[in-house]
Amino acid sequence: MSETSRDRPGLWRGPLLAWFVLLLLAGVNLGSAYIPFGAGNVTLNLVVAAIMAIVLATFLMDLKSANMLVRVVAVTGVFWMIFMFSLTFSDYLSR
Amino acid sequence: MSDLSRALQAPWPDLRLQREAVGLGMWFFLASEVLFFAALFCSYAVYRSFNEEAFRIAASHTKIVYGSINTALLLTSSLTMTVALRAAAAQLKRMTLFCLGATAALGAAFLVTKGLEYRADIEEHLIPGPNFPLKPAATAMFWGLYWIMTGIHAIHLTAGIGVVIVVLTLFWRETIPVQGSTMEGVAIYWHFVDTVWIFLFPLIYLAGRS
């Protein structure tokens, strides 16, 4: 297949949009860190980071178009991570 | 032998299924990687929950300029990696090679920036031990986690750059065709390393800024 200039914009359009959103969210995280929200700072930072991870996984790691089996496996790590955090903190916070 | 028949491996009937299988295998591997990094993040969360003020003081000594530049570099490398994947599926070999080269270069730029940052940290003796300058003592916990978490992330990125360079060379020499399933695994791994950084950035660099 020959590489025509017509092929290229289509390749870049979707990823460029996701990249722009990711940079924007990183900027939001950076900027908001300097505004004193108390304990709200870390919460906001982690929520924005989680949104960034979802954008990246959905649009750049192609989970949007992946089949159900791949999606299930992709969230497996997060699922067990929730158990790790829950069980660890149920110990430390109840001492 | 045509490119398609070279790209297609047994037992897959078509390239779409073969790519899906490679992606699925990589996601399985990444699930174990998530738990590996989760143990470190969990340690960070436990220590921080008991030493809130010490972590705030310690984190304010991280180099936010280097951290922010590296965030932009990694996010941009994920862009070029995605385009490389799309270009490979469309059999655009030159575009694939260009984007893989750009991805490896951005990853290398990240490591160079990280090296400069590490040098600045070492000059300030921000290594837990006898000459550690910060107080209270729990600030050393943050800096211990800083070296371990960013160090392990950098090792993952170095492995990623190595794989990208090997794959680029194999494509360049036409040892394997670009439209095969190789790019699928490489791209998902690269994005995972980026995702880890997305969480490291606020926890390491943004804590204690307000």
Give the domain ranges of chain A. Answer: 1-61, 66-95
Q: Which of B76, B188, B207 sits opposite A61 (nearest CB)?
A: B188
Does residue B68 form part of some domain? yes
Please choose, from the candidates A62, A85, A94, the residue with its C-alpha nearest in 3D space to the C-alpha of residue B44: A85
B-interface mutation test, from A6, A51, A61, A90, most B Cβ less than 10 A away: A61
Does residue B88 form part of some domain? yes
Number of domains in chain B: 1
Q: Which long-range contacts (CB under 8 A, 24 or more apart) does B2-5 make?
A: B3/B91, B3/B177, B3/B179, B4/B177, B4/B179
Does residue B12 form part of some domain? no
The residue segments making up the domain with residue B172 are 34-206
pLDDT digits (tens, 9 = 90+) for B91-149: 999 999 999 999 999 999 999 999 999 999 999 999 999 999 999 999 999 999 999 99
The span from the CA of B113 to the CA of A78, in Å, is: 30
Does residue B25 form part of some domain? no
The Cα of A71 is separated from the nearest Cα of chain B by a number of Å equal to 9
Does residue B5 form part of some domain? no
Does residue B28 form part of some domain? no
**CATH code, domain carrying B164:** 1.20.120.80
Does residue B14 form part of some domain? no
Are A45 and B206 in contact, with CB atoms under 8 Å apart? yes
The Cα of B127 is separated from the nearest Cα of chain A by a number of Å equal to 24
Pairwise CB contact (< 8 Å): B94 & A29: no
C-alpha angle A93/B206/A82, rounded to 5°? 40
Q: B47, exposed or middle or buried, with CB in 10 Å at 0-12, 13-18, 19+?
A: middle
pTM assigned to the model: 0.94
Q: Which of A12, A69, A76 sits opposite B31 (nearest CB)?
A: A76
The whole-number pLDDT of residue B174 equals 92
Are B45 and B136 in contact, with CB atoms under 8 Å apart? no
ipTM of the complex: 0.94
Does residue B10 form part of some domain? no
